Amino acid sequence: MAVVINGRDLTIEEVIRVCRGMEEVSISPEAQKAVNKARDFIEKKLDEGAIIYGLTTGFGKFANVFVDRDETAALQENLIISHTCALGDAYEQKYVRAAMLLRCNALSRGNSGIRLSTVQTLVDMLNAGIHPIVPCKGSLGASGDLAPLSCIALGLIGKGNVEYKGEVVPAAEAMKAAGIEPVVLAAKEGLALNNGTQMMTAVGLNVLWDAMHLQKIADIACAMTAEALHGITKAYDPKIHELRGHKGQITVAANLRKLLDGSKNALRIQPTKVQDPYTLRCVPQIHGASRDAIAYAYDMVSREINAVTDNPIVFPDEEDVISGGNFHGQPMALTFDFLKIAISELANVSERRCERLINPALAEGLPGFLTKHGGVCSGFMIAQYAAASMVSENKVYDHPACVDSIPSSGNQEDHVSMGTTSARTAAMVLDNTQKVLGIELASAAQGIWLREEIGESKIDNLAPATRAAYDYIRTVSDPIDNDVIMHDELVKFDEMIKNGELLAAVEKVVELA
């Protein structure tokens, strides 16, 4: 079933279905009417010889330079060609598809003045699997994502390179093979295509989606560590969390109670200790705060994917055109900086739990570095190094990009958001955090296995939910008796987090919020 866009009620879930699931897209009849109405108004203003920014004037510092009507088409194509200044590695396909969809959705609102045929061609490219090559560096996040969105528009006009059927080919070749006619841009259309926040939002939305799943993995990893270290579950009693009242905290505590329900290792009261360290005892507070930040990001992104973010904006009912600043990425820049810090904290506390698992002074009787053959074997010693390295790297990426600004366009655009950098670094933090949590899961599973090996606790003592996690892990990775190539094992844990299989195995037993 196709995702129908109208510029008003697209959901994050629908974007994921299109950008990852290759679901087709169509424009609603109501949106088609709105787009045509706005275009008719633009044609009227052209006939009147009106002076409108980006329509009959140059761009940025050239806003005061009048452009004759017979040059407006060249103006739009030159805008796209000259603005394709993005550099670096190409964005992943899912990001480009999401950006294409979001741009189509924004244009479908009927406030951009673009022709319906032009929007439909971009939709046709998306449905045909023609994805322009978009280098990832070069956007200031105001006036929107000019460089990356210009690279998408470049493919639309049949120039540059695209990815098509698994190969990088010239755009004109792919369009011909798919039976799609490249667009010859008309007045206002170049600006309607490259002025907006869709690239940063596309990247950040994908990071957000994965973070929503990763927050559950973080709770599972904590529960596994609690099993291995004989944690105290009384700290997850709902009474104390309701007293503070934060939704995320209450949710995490409930998840941990579900995950550890029935455990004979993690108990409400442990005879050997009064309380756990913060990395176990305060997990509802720590993970919960990240959850609340992720929920905030979800709300902000849900709003942005249905926003009109180009300039100028057309109001055909009022016969008005307003040059404003909806392209400014500050709302998303702040959101994605907040998001990456929230994700990073999941790694931060996870690495500290890894340290407790391997450190013989902290591991509640587990063999040092999770090996029975200490000395001749190093076990999980350097796995913790790797986790620490990525946690430290995250701290570099966590610097908020939105607090920086470099004036551009002759100081006409004198405050920019750097929101695309916020989104890109959030993706880097996400990847690191997935890997760190994978290291914790590997370490906790090894600790659980060792408890049985040294005769302290049987695998059967696990709670049903953590047993489901452990059993799934053992279908992918065996316990480590003698040292092995650890890279190969840790990659398995990174993959089981990213492909969703570990979470699915656990959620067959308990439903996590």
In the residue annotation, 298 being an active-site residue is answered as no
Do residues 141 and 97 lie in contact, with contact meaning Cβ atoms separated by under 8 Å?
A: no
CA pair distance 145, 139, nearest whole angstrom: 5
Do residues 73 and 186 lie in contact, with contact meaning Cβ atoms separated by under 8 Å?
A: yes
3-state secondary structure of 385: helix
CA pair distance 110, 225, nearest whole angstrom: 53
Of the residues 53, 91, 164, 236, which is catalytic? 53
H or E, element range at 340: helix 330-358
DSSP code, position 63: G
Cβ contacts of 347-350, under 8 Å, gap ≥ 24: 347/387, 347/390, 347/391, 347/394, 347/429, 347/432, 347/433, 347/436, 347/437, 348/391, 348/394, 349/279, 349/283, 349/286, 349/287, 350/218, 350/221, 350/222, 350/387, 350/433, 350/436, 350/437, 350/439, 350/440
Q: Which of 148, 114, 143, 116 is nearest to 133 (CA)?
A: 148
- Residue 422 sits at the vertex; the CA angle it makes with 349 and 138, to the nearest 5 degrees, is 145
**Residues paired with 132 in a beta bridge:** 162
Residue with tokens 């570095």: 369
Going from the C-alpha of 265 to that of each of 81, 354, 447, 467, 469, the distances in angstroms are: 64, 18, 12, 12, 15
CA pair distance 313, 471, nearest whole angstrom: 56
Rounded to 5 degrees, φ, ψ at 260 are -105, 0
Token pair of 6 as six digits: 């109208």
Do residues 226 and 266 lie in contact, with contact meaning Cβ atoms separated by under 8 Å?
A: yes
**Amino acid identity of 443?**
S
Q: Which of 253, 315, 289, 270 is nearest to 111 (CA)?
A: 315
CA trace torsion 118, 122, 125, 130 (10° rounding): 120
**Amino acid identity of 315?**
F
Burial of 376 (0-12, 13-18, 19+ CB in 10 A): exposed
Active site residues: 53
